[in-house]
Amino acid sequence: MEKAIYRTLVFAFMGVLFSFAGCASLAKIQPVPVPVPREASVPAKKAAVAAHKTGLSLFIIERNKNANIVRYDANLTTDGKLDPRQPVAAYWVLLAEDGRRKNLNWLEKKKAYGIKIKPDPSNSGYILTLAAAPWMPLAVKNIGDAVRAEAVINGRPAALQKMFIQARDGLMGPKVEYIELYGKDLQTGEDCREKIVPK
């Protein structure tokens, strides 16, 4: 009985994190289209200097709560390689307000949108996991003159572009109804999508 209550509280707490983090208001705002690069990978060497200052977008997280997004950038050195000091940075883009950048707070980093990243022993890239989705490791790597985040979408290797989180308000706080992954199939180059419903 105690374990069931504990599990219920944990899931309710996660729903609250996904919903309130970065909220601009209590009003329900429908998601708006956010520009995402057509290509799943981004040019690395040509924009290395700018990327060293601002980072290049790997993927984003959108939510139905409001237009704010969490953006994950690849930090590159001046020669276009992933910066070993901090290969990836995560932060809010407050599109529901004035579009400014805002750092994740401690709770968001630890329980929801924060990342753990470690070198991939099989290549020169990195393995990235989201705090709220340790079951879904992502491979971040340089591929020629590009850098991308790779995931498994519908059982196939893909370059991840976006995650969308659909949640609804409940008695115990917001509850995640489903998560959608969007990307490009690495073998066919076609757009791919997968819907994941929490059990």
97-135 confidence digits (pLDDT tens): 999 999 999 989 998 899 999 999 988 899 999 998 888
Residue type (1 letter), 72: Y
Q: What is the pLDDT of residue 199?
A: 78
Radius of gyration of the chain (CA): 17
pLDDT tens-digit readout, 18-57: 444 444 333 332 333 334 444 444 444 444 334 334 468 9
User: What average pLDDT does range 163-169 have in this prediction?
Assistant: 88
Ordered DSSP codes for 128-190: EEETTEEEEEEEEEEETTEEEEEEEETTEEEEEEEEEEEEE--TTS-EEEEEEEEEEETTT--
Residue 93 reports pLDDT greater than 90: yes
Domain count, the chain: 1
Q: What is the pLDDT of residue 38?
A: 40
Q: What is the pTM of this model?
A: 0.72
Cα angle 181-182-183, degrees, rounded to a multiple of 5: 125
Instruction: Please give the structure tokens belonging to residue 81.
Output: 């390689």
Q: Which residue has the higher pLDDT, 2 or 30?
A: 2
Q: What is the pLDDT of residue 114?
A: 94
* Spatial distance between the Cα atoms of 52 and 79, rounded to a whole number of angstroms: 10
Residue type (1 letter), 183: G
Report which of 78, 43, 45, 77 is spatially closest to residue 57, judged by C-alpha positions: 43
Q: What is the pLDDT of residue 103?
A: 97
Whole-number average pLDDT of the chain = 79
| Residue 191 belongs to domain spanning | 2-196
Q: Could you tell me if 76 and 52 are in contact, meaning their C-beta atoms sit under 8 angstroms apart?
A: yes
